[in-house]
Amino acid sequence: MKIDFLDSVKKQFEYYKLLGEKTFDQIADDQINWQYNAESNSIAIIVKHLSGNMLSRWTDFLTTDGEKEWRNRDAEFEGEIKTKIELFEAWNKGWSGLFEALDSISNEDLDKVIYIRNQGHTVMEAINRQLAHYPYHVGQIVFIGKMLLDENWQTLSIAKRASSAYNAEKFSKEKNKGHFTDEYLGKRIKQSP
């Protein structure tokens, strides 16, 4: 299992990164700071938070606490990102740190203990923690995009009332071993506006 773990999580992270980017591509600059109400977060704020979290968690991943002294988490929830260019810059900066850290570790590192706010995690547990956290927020980004675009939203999944056709196409092929994200990641979109 451990032989495939790091490759699998990289693909999972890439998939959720792609879902965010496909959402960004559908919205306009003036929509990135839209909030449902005063207590909700805009897409820009969620991106700012994700980027801050990623930079904190993945910088010096194996050697320092994942909650860095220089991180200002509260400021992540204040608006500063004004354009999609800035949005993509923050987004890509965070994800680059994550992928660089994942590329620097090996299967032998998975049982090592690292700390997040002084709480010990194996490397595998820390990866899984973030693999739950980031999709949570990407789901929020996608949901906001769907609210903003309403009937103009281009689905990122199997379209409504298309499950039977999708399943028929899948079951018409031979069984095979592959990661479910392969078909999505093979259709990668541009990474900047």
- Residue 4's pLDDT is 85
pLDDT of the chain, 193 residues: tens digit per residue: 445 899 999 999 999 999 999 999 999 999 999 999 999 999 999 999 999 999 999 999 999 999 999 999 999 999 889 999 999 999 999 999 999 999 999 999 999 999 999 999 999 999 999 999 999 999 999 999 999 999 999 999 888 898 999 889 889 989 888 778 777 776 543 333 3
Which neighbouring-strand residues pair with 120? 115
Q: Which two tokens stand for residue 22?
A: 């496909």
**Opening angle at CA 95, ends 26 and 176, nearest 5:** 80
The reported pLDDT for the residue numbered 186 is 65
pTM, rounded to two decimals: 0.90
Instruction: Give residue 187's pLDDT.
Output: 56
CB 67 within 8 A of CB 126: no
Q: Domains of the chain: which residue ranges?
A: 2-185
Q: What is the CA radius of gyration of the chain?
A: 18
d(CA 97, CA 103): 10
For residue 33, what pLDDT is reported?
Answer: 97
CATH classification number, 2-185, choose in 3.90.1200.10, 3.40.1130.10, 3.30.930.10, 1.20.120.450 = 1.20.120.450
Q: What is the pLDDT of residue 192?
A: 37
Give the pLDDT confidence score for residue 193 in this predicted structure. 39
Q: What is the model's pLDDT at position 183? A: 76
